[in-house]
Amino acid sequence: MPTAFLLLMSVGSNYGQVCSTSFEGNIFSLEQNTPLESAVVEVIGSNMIVTSTASGYFKLEGLCPNSIIKIKISHINCPDYFGEIDLNKSLFENFYLDHKVEELSEIILSDDKINDLSTSSRFFSISELEKERYSDSGLATVLEKISGVNTLSTGNKVAKPVIHGMFGSRVGIIYDGVMLENQQWGQDHAPNLDLNAFDRVRVIKGASVLKYSGSNPGGLIIIDSSPPKINDTITGKTIINSSSNGRGGSIISSITSSRESGTFLRSQFTIKKNGDLSSPNYILSNTGSNEKNISITVGKNYSKSNIKALLSYFNSEIGILKNSHVGNIKDLLRAIESDSPDVINDFSYNINYPNQDNTHYTASLDYNYFFDSDKKLSSKYSFQLNKRKEYDLRIGDFKNIPSLDLNLSTQRINLNYTWSNLFNEFNNGIFFELQENYSNPGTGVKRLIPDYLNTKFGGYFISTFKLNRMLNFGLGFRYEYSSNDVYKYYRNFRWENENYEGRLGKYVINEVLSQKLIRKKVIFNTFSSNAGFFNEFEKKYSLSVQYNYTERSPNIAEMFSGGLHHSLASIEYGDPFLKKEKTHKILFDFEKNDGKFNFRINPYFSYSDDYILAQPAGFEQTIRGAFPVWEYSPISSIFKGVDLDFVYPIKDNIKFKNSVSWVNAKNYDTKEQLINTPPLVVNNEIRIISNNFKKFNAIIEHKFVSKQKLFPNNNTMTIVIESGKKISKVVDISTPPDAYNLFNLNLNWGPYNFVSSNIYFSLSIDNVMNKAYRNYLNRLRFYSDEAGRNVLFQIKIKY
């Protein structure tokens, strides 16, 4: 909707009169030169709206002669077109809607065209150009383009999104209408998802969409594909990437075939491979990775219903920086004190230990039934199976055996009923979910995550009211019952230390060696709600205010994990008595979208009770020395922050974009800062679109990441022998690295016609200055610099 006002000027006053002039025309797609059906033609400032026919034809009637009208043409697959028509001169015109422009559309603008989320929260979307540019990278990298979204990583390829300073279970990923259920137990567990299998990426910052989930105070990432057209077409896209850093590349290809009869088939695959990446000064040994993904969707549209089935397979094998596997705290200290890794081998494509092997299977079935044009019943069954194997540096017979071997399977049924009228929309639904986690025995390492069976069910009710053309109001509730049937082995020494006998003794079902097996049902009832409004005024400003109350039940890792983190030389424990986490969050979104200078400001504030955070909790003695223990424990937390975006056209063809995000997160009681709070980030971007040579554009990006000065002190001390003397040293795991500036360049050419298809070329250089830097939010920052310069060449063919 806001795009609607980009070019809007004062509106004439003569629409109230009854006139009889008509204006007609045809709408075509610029690239394919084919008629566009169902394009919406609107006379701005009036209630006059028509849609185009199958041949792209439209007719506006009842216009006043000799007037000048302003029209807006919108279509689901194209950006909005705005034009001024002088009825004196013309009563017929053809319009060509441009796909190319869409690729350049700004993420600063939200896209209200697809109002399928049933929420009054505002969202940000990633443009197709940006999505394709980062097709060789992972999901988290693309999302960093959005203000307020950061990346928490382990090395270069394992990255998970952080929204408004929150991450992990607090950020949900919805793909094709289901919550992604993969192992998300730690910072080194990234989402197992191929972005290239989908068309659209949208981010709701700081709020859940109650239709999908009620437990994500950080935000939600929604990834899906637009429904295919109902006509006889075959469309497809192939992207070939070649990158210098890591000497890697990828091939991504998709094809969609649809028929007039309503059937369609979409298939897609991605193959990626890279060898060891390089930082500016050295090779990052064992950072190669491989990825293979494939997905197939088939569907059929009937007059009153549609059905869709999806099958997908995702596999990634990721090498973890060789020297990040440390034996004890002194090894960690040595790494911190050293400028470069102590293992630097020659470049190789081999992936040795440590590494991760993740596989994710999805099968889903959708069925939608339309009772009338305004009532719809949707049902969805989905099955997800996530297999995760982690290999460490081990010895003897266990050298080639994973030290972590987990299978997580999730089945979910969702029924949703939507009814709407011109002004209001109601959504309600119920769901039932079964999730089972199973650790393959025989790893020779105690389970990090216990075996469990989780049963979940609940329901939601969401309503959005359009009080008038300018004011939207939304209200939603969601209830979830969650029961975890957990089988957990406790080591006797831990059991005694924590005095578990009194509280957990009655759940012991078996005792072996120095361990006790308990079986316990952990039940949570959570209730989440939101309320908010969205108001446009003076046709150029909009304000959205949202209040979200989120209850999140602790995840299994927070309650029951127990194990060693090799890269942090620390032991992590869950707390089986955690309560549900309760967050109140208020978000504001103020936007100006008219004239030259456009901006968007998002301040937010949240307070959480029983916010679950891993905190230092003493030491545990092992034969390798003392290990710091981190335990999940509840605190009261306060987050406040602001995201700011603006766009300013310096000239017609040069646009300046800027975004700033800042967040501050504290323990409410101790006033101590929370660990891993993203530092201040400033993004600047200059886009140059050549006027004369239409098929070229250049983007120069600058990113400034400040030094995070607010951080908790989690340092430990250790004793080392230096120059024949025992001395005590601080292991500084707390101090964030220095600020840095990065420059990227992105050049795009195209489209060019090539055997009835369009071909595009792009050349990108990331980290142009080959800057050596370290990132506070990278868990392996103690061991090496980030990757250096990368030259990426991309060929894109659309057919």
Partner 1 sequence: MLKNIYFRATLLSISLLLISCDKDDTPVAENEMEVFTKAVIVVTNLTDDSSETYNFEVEEHDHGHDHGVLPQTQDDDDHGDHTVIELKSSSEYKFEISFLNETDPNNIIDMTLAVMEEKDEHLVHYELAGNGIEIESYSGDTIDSNGNAMNLITKWTTSTATEIDVEAYLIHQPTSKTGNTRDDFGGATDVEIEFEAHVE
| Interacting residues with partner 1 between 322 and 341 (CB under 8 A) | 323, 325-331, 334
The two beta strands, 171-175 and 219-224, are: parallel
Among 270, 615, 758, 767, binds partner 1 (CB under 8 A): 615
Q: Does 502 sit near partner 1 (CB under 8 A)?
A: no
Q: How far apart are CA 558 and CA 215, in angstroms?
A: 15
CB of 411 vs partner 1, minimal distance in Å? 5
> What part of residues 442-461 is at the interface with partner 1 (CB under 8 A)?
442-447, 450-451, 453
User: What whole-number distance in Å separates Cα of residue 522 and Cα of residue 559?
Assistant: 10
Q: From the list 92, 467, 618, 690, which residue makes contact with partner 1 (rule: CB under 8 A)? A: 618
Verify binding: residue 233, partner 1, rule CB under 8 A. Answer: no
DSSP designation for 799: -
Among 88, 670, 690, 741, binds partner 1 (CB under 8 A): 670
Placement of tokens 């033609």 in the chain: 41
55: left (phi over 0), alpha (psi -120 to 50) or beta: alpha
| Candidate residues 49, 719, 738, 741; the one interacting with partner 1 per rule CB under 8 A | 719
Q: Which stretch binds partner 1 (CB under 8 A): 40-48, 57-65, 189-197, 440-448?
A: 440-448
- Choose, by CB under 8 A, the member of 95, 123, 460, 489 that binds partner 1: 489
Q: According to CB under 8 A, which one of 371, 537, 648, 752 is a site residue for partner 1?
A: 371
Min dist CB 492 to partner 1, Å, is 9
Nearest approach, Cβ of residue 677 and partner 1 (Å): 17
d(CA 551, CA 562): 25
DSSP state of 256: E
Query: Based on CB atoms, which residue is closest to partner 1, 639 or 711?
Result: 711
For residue 80, give Cα distances in angstroms to 41, 95, 105.
10, 12, 10
Examine residue 221 and tell whether it contacts partner 1 (CB under 8 A).
Answer: no
Which range, of 62-70, 214-222, 428-436, 750-758, touches partner 1 by CB under 8 A? 428-436
- State yes or no: residue 155 binds partner 1 (CB under 8 A): no
Four-CA torsion 113, 114, 116, 122, nearest 10 degrees: -70
What residues from 672 to 691 belong to the interface with partner 1 (CB under 8 A)? 672
Specify the residue, 81 or 495, whose C-beta has the smaller distance to partner 1: 495
Q: Tell me the per-residue interface mask from 723 to 762 with partner 1, x by CB under 8 A, - otherwise.
A: -xxx-x-x--------------------------------
Assess 717 for contact with partner 1 (CB under 8 A): yes
CB of 354 to partner 1, least distance (A): 10
Query: Considering the complex, what minimum distance in angstroms separates the CB of residue 723 from partner 1?
Result: 9
Smallest distance, partner 1 to C-beta of residue 670, A = 6
Residue 671 Rama label (left phi>0; alpha psi -120 to 50; beta): left
- Cβ distance to partner 1 smaller for residue 529 or 673: 673
User: Binding segment for partner 1 among 129-137, 185-193, 520-528, 611-619 (CB under 8 A)?
Assistant: 611-619
- Residue 422 or 623: the one with the smaller Cβ distance to partner 1 is 623
Per-residue binding string, partner 1, 468-487, x by CB under 8 A, is: -----------------x-x
- Kindly tell me which residue out of 514, 525, 690, 753 binds partner 1, with binding defined by CB under 8 A: 514
Distance CA 459, CA 476 (A): 11
Please calculate the CA angle 206-207-208 and round it to the nearest 5 degrees.
145
Per the rule left: phi > 0, alpha: psi between -120 and 50, beta: everything else, 610 is left
Q: 420 - beta bridge partners? A: 425
Choose between 343 and 545: whose C-beta lies nearer to partner 1: 343
Sole residue written with tokens 């078996």 = 510
497 touches partner 1 by CB under 8 A: yes
DSSP letter (8 states) at residue 720: E
Each residue 94-133 as x (binds partner 1 by CB under 8 A) or -, in order, gives ----------------------------------------
Residue 346 interacting with partner 1 (CB under 8 A): no
Nearer to partner 1, 323 or 355 (CB): 323
Which residues in the 41-70 window bind partner 1 by CB under 8 A? none
Residue 363 binds partner 1 (CB under 8 A): no
Could you tell me how many residues of this chain bind partner 1 (CB under 8 A)?
A: 92
> In whole angstroms, how close is the CB of 561 to partner 1 at the nearest point?
14
CA distance 688 to 692: 12
- Cβ proximity to partner 1: between 377 and 601 the closer is 377
Shortest Cβ 379–partner 1 spacing (Å): 5
- The residue range among 181-189, 195-203, 249-257, 609-617 that interacts with partner 1, by the rule CB under 8 A, is 609-617
Nearer to partner 1, 426 or 533 (CB): 426
The set of residues, in sequence order, having a beta carbon less than 8 Å from that of 38 and lying 6+ positions away, is 51, 52, 75, 76
Q: What is the C-alpha separation between 753 and 762, in angstroms, rounded?
A: 16
Indicate which single residue of 226, 715, 741, 753 sits in contact with partner 1 (rule: CB under 8 A).
715
367 binds partner 1 (CB under 8 A): yes
Q: Is 339 exposed, middle or buried (0-12, 13-18, 19+ CB in 10 A)?
A: exposed
Cβ neighbours of residue 612 under 8 Å, at least 6 residues apart? 554, 558, 578, 581, 632, 633, 634
Whether the CB-CB separation of 307 and 367 falls below 8 Å is answered with yes
Taking the complex as a whole, the smallest distance from the CB of residue 384 to partner 1 amounts, in Å, to 12
Q: How far is the CB of 601 from partner 1 (least distance, A)?
A: 35
Listed in sequence order, the residues at least 6 apart from 564 whose beta carbon sits closer than 8 Å to its beta carbon are 570, 571, 572, 627
Residue type, 306: N
CA 162 distance to own-chain centroid: 8
| E-assigned strand segments in 342-450 | 355-372, 375-391, 404-420, 424-439
Contact residues for 275 (Cβ-Cβ < 8 A; gap 6+): 246, 247, 248, 288, 347, 348, 349
Give, as ranges, the residues between 246 and 265 that touch partner 1 (CB under 8 A). Answer: none
| Interface stretch with partner 1, choices 123-131, 527-535, 621-629, 680-688 (CB under 8 A) | 621-629
**Which residues lie below 8 Å from residue 506, measured CB to CB, with a gap of 6+?**
none
Closest-CA residue to 415 (of 435, 430, 432): 430
At residue 746, φ and ψ (nearest 5 deg) are: -140, 120
- Give residues 379-418 in contact with partner 1 (rule: CB under 8 A): 379, 381, 393-398, 409, 411, 413, 415, 417
Tell me the pairing of strands 508-512 and 305-319: unpaired
Among 714, 735, 757, 770, binds partner 1 (CB under 8 A): 714
Nearer to partner 1, 5 or 500 (CB): 500
Q: How many CB atoms lie within 10 A of CB 64?
A: 16
Question: Which CB atom, from 53 or from 409, has the smaller least distance to partner 1?
Answer: 409
Residue whose C-alpha is closest to residue 459's, from 526, 364, 410 = 526
Tokens of 135: 């097709």
Specify the stretch interacting with partner 1 by CB under 8 A; choose among 2-10, 47-55, 601-609, 622-630. 622-630
What is the C-alpha separation between 748 and 681, in angstroms, rounded?
26
Q: Of the two residues 493 and 648, which places its CB atom closer to partner 1 in the complex?
A: 493
Using CB atoms within 10 Å of the CB of residue 259, give its burial: 0 to 12 exposed, 13 to 18 middle, 19+ buried. middle
**Closer CB to partner 1, 14 or 514, in the complex:** 514
Footprint of partner 1 on residues 633-662 (CB under 8 A)? 633
User: Which C-beta is closer to partner 1: that of 503 or that of 695?
Assistant: 503
**Tokens 């105690």, residue located:** 446
HSE toward the beta carbon, residue 294, CA cutoff 13 A: 1
Q: Among 591, 587, 681, which Cα is nearest to 208's? A: 587
Residue number, 440 or 706, with CB nearest to partner 1? 440
